[in-house]
Structure 1
Amino acid sequence: MPSAQSPRAVFAMDPVHLPLLFPPPLMDRLRQVAEIDPGLVVRDFADPAVTPALAEAEVLITGWGCPHLDADVLAAAPRLRTVLHAAGSVRALVGEALWQRGIRVSSAVAANALPVAEYTLAMILLAGKDAFGQRERYRRTRSHPASDETAALGNVGRRVGVIGASRVGRRLLELLRPFDFAVSLYDPYVDPAGAAALGAEPLGLEDLLRTSDIVSLHAPDIPETYRMLDRAGLALIRDGGWLINTSRGALVDPDALADELRSGRLNAVLDVTEPEPLPAGDPLYDLPNVFLTPHIAGSLGNELERLGRTVVEELEHLAAGRPPAHEVRRTDLARVA
């Protein structure tokens, strides 16, 4: 049972996520360090039924589906001092009113980075073997390829260009280390020594695009990265190259990308698009050189428990008088998703 000093907490998210984020053993652990009603999950802060709980809440445990924490919400939660977000980006969740109140924010974005990096690694390995193209060929011919048709395949020395040393980008670079790839990195915030420490060769964006067999996007969706891969940038990727996007569709000019893919010059793995989802009649659904998935790289299913565990660990830190391990500061939002 929580102690008399345990903070009062309230869930605020789409209730459908709660059982996966906090399965029974983890919920029991949470309730050891916080006073919380698992049956109360706020979707509408203006609902009179949640007013008493909100007035006493010291901690909000938020997730996908939580409304924006504006000034009216904060006025209804005078005791609130911490927001623990059991998901990734907090950009749409928090605003100036929260920072002015001095409320601390923590996010499970680091935990969410791991499945995205794992997905990306898998796609890089499959792209280097041309697994998607070979599947289409095998389906069509019902025969094995000749040796000369596979001479250019394989992952030894394959050049992988990573755009963005975000949390996902860094986890991906870590996962790439055991393989025989030649890895380069473009990130204006990382100096050559920092890139070397991450196991990558630092390159400018144009040089990375020009020299990579596989380009993987991991930059944040901020104004400075909007359409960072435009028509000219995409044209720099070598013929037969691969673009992997598990970040955001806004980073790529969709019309230019569609033209490159329809021409067959490039291949792509797209877990995100713009718009999302694509219209039902979009030709990208049917192109043999495009592998589309419905935004599944991030945490889903049993992976959500990892996000919930991050929140519980943060509560345990707070109970022990320690600061959050995954705190998000206002200055961070200028360069993170």
Structure 2
Amino acid sequence: MLNGLYVMDPNRFDDVYGPEARAAIERHLTITSPPLTADRLTPDVLENLDVLVTGWGAPKLDAELLAAAPKLSLVLYGAGSIRPMVTPESWARGVRVTSAATANATPVAEFALSQILYALKHGWRYVLTARANAATAPRGNEIGVYGAVVGLLSLGATGLATARLLAHHNLVVQAHDPYADPEKAAQAGVRLVGLEELFATSDVVSLHAPLTPETHGIVGATLLESMKHDATLINTARGTLVDEAALVDVLSRRTDLFAVLDVTDPEPPVAGSPLFTMPNIVVTPHVAGSLGHERRRHGEAMAEELARYVAGEPLLYEISESGLARRA
């Protein structure tokens, strides 16, 4: 048996590693300590550690920790981005890291689907108009779902998951992603297009891109101005993908456009932000990702990865140093 240790934010531990996931993990790991927080790690609990089971609140894999844990070979990270945890020293040591980021694609895609379909019915517009006027909002000329064009910015894990859900509806789905595999896109029923075409021809544009130097502020005034009449922008990815000053400016003039923002920059928006009061913007408090027991998917994914590791099989969600450079 390998020696393991649970180390993470105690407020999220049970959400991620529920009874079933823990039972599966502990079939392969000897875990003698109760779950710890990163600040309680000492050399005596690290010296025989083979596998670190963690998530939000993970310890940083710096030189000091690695020196105290000479046997550490695998980290199961039951959350999303591993950037805050890994270091050049951990990559140099050859510590393998697998992440549950792909598991988080499911609830984000589900939320995106709900907002896409709602947008095509002008749902939020009617809610906000009725509230502002204290009266039923008059019906408009929304196009509805059938035959509508939905554009996805990025076909990573979340973009593909969203495309697969959209495939159950009578929609045209297109995407922009310079790194997308054309064969995978075709299998998902997605047409690959240029960035400008995506914004100019989609009834709804849903953002799923990672945050990189190339995507920071990628959605600016020019793209927003080019959007179709009555189009909607949905952002469940990263707030900094959107130039919010440009968004406020364009949507204050283009009142036919609408935006659903589950992420903002900063997050949450500052008090008094026009994002809260504009009639064609709605802000939700970063609820698209895994919440509560939805996080159990993360723990189950990590338990499955551990079983593969013990059996000497390839890990499905392992992240390499080079692969991390392309992720959010």
Q: CA deviation at 1:192?
A: 4.3
2:162 to 172, 179, 183: 172
Report the equivalent of 2:21: 26
Paired with 1:151 and 1:276, the residues of 2 have a C-alpha distance of 34
Look up the equivalent residue of 2:68 and give its one-letter code: A
SS of aligned partner of 1:41 = coil
Look up the equivalent residue of 1:42 and give its one-letter code: T
Bigger shift: 134-143 or 291-300? 134-143
Paired with 2:78 and 2:252, the residues of 1 have a C-alpha distance of 39
- 1:249 partnered with 2:239: yes
Paired with 1:25 and 1:328, the residues of 2 have a C-alpha distance of 25
Deviations 1:160-207 (A, max 9, x none): 110101100000011110111111110001254443222111110001
Look up the equivalent residue of 2:242 and give its one-letter code: V
- 1:70 partnered with 2:65: no
Deviations 1:269-303 (A, max 9, x none): 11111011111211211223212111111111110
Paired with 1:142 and 1:215, the residues of 2 have a C-alpha distance of 30
CA-atom RMSD in angstroms: 1.7
Look up the equivalent residue of 1:213 and give its one-letter code: D
Report the equivalent of 1:122: 114
- 1:142 partnered with 2:135: yes
Q: With structure 1 as the length reference, what TM-score do the two structures score?
A: 0.92
CA contact 1:34–1:315 (8 Å) conserved in 2 = no
Counterparts of residues 83-162 of structure 1 (less than 5 Å): 83-139=75-131, 140=133, 142-143=135-136, 145=138, 149-162=139-152
Q: CA deviation at 1:76?
A: 1.5
Q: CA deviation at 1:57?
A: 0.9
Q: With structure 2 as the length reference, what TM-score do the two structures score?
A: 0.94
Report the equivalent of 1:42: 37
Look up the equivalent residue of 1:93 and give its one-letter code: M
Report the equivalent of 1:3: none
- 1:181 partnered with 2:171: yes
Report the equivalent of 2:283: 292
CA contact 2:75–2:97 (8 Å) conserved in 1 = yes
Bigger shift: 173-182 or 283-292? 283-292
Q: CA deviation at 1:308?
A: 0.7
Counterparts of residues 228-247 of structure 1 (less than 5 Å): 228-247=218-237
CA contact 1:13–1:42 (8 Å) conserved in 2 = yes
Structure 1 runs of 4+ with >6 Å offset: none
**Counterparts in 2 of 1:265 and 1:323: CA distance versus 1, 3 Å:** same
CA contact 1:240–1:266 (8 Å) conserved in 2 = yes
Paired with 1:96 and 1:25, the residues of 2 have a C-alpha distance of 34
Deviations 1:102-131 (A, max 9, x none): 111100111111000000000000000001
Deviations 1:231-255 (A, max 9, x none): 2122111232111111101111121
**How many aligned residue pairs are there?**
326
CA contact 1:42–1:50 (8 Å) conserved in 2 = no
Bigger shift: 135-144 or 109-118? 135-144
SS of aligned partner of 2:24 = helix
Q: CA deviation at 1:141?
A: 5.3
Paired with 2:122 and 2:33, the residues of 1 have a C-alpha distance of 47
Paired with 1:216 and 1:157, the residues of 2 have a C-alpha distance of 17
Paired with 1:205 and 1:164, the residues of 2 have a C-alpha distance of 10
2:293 to 275, 297, 302: 302
2:270 to 270, 279, 286: 279
Q: CA deviation at 1:99?
A: 1.1
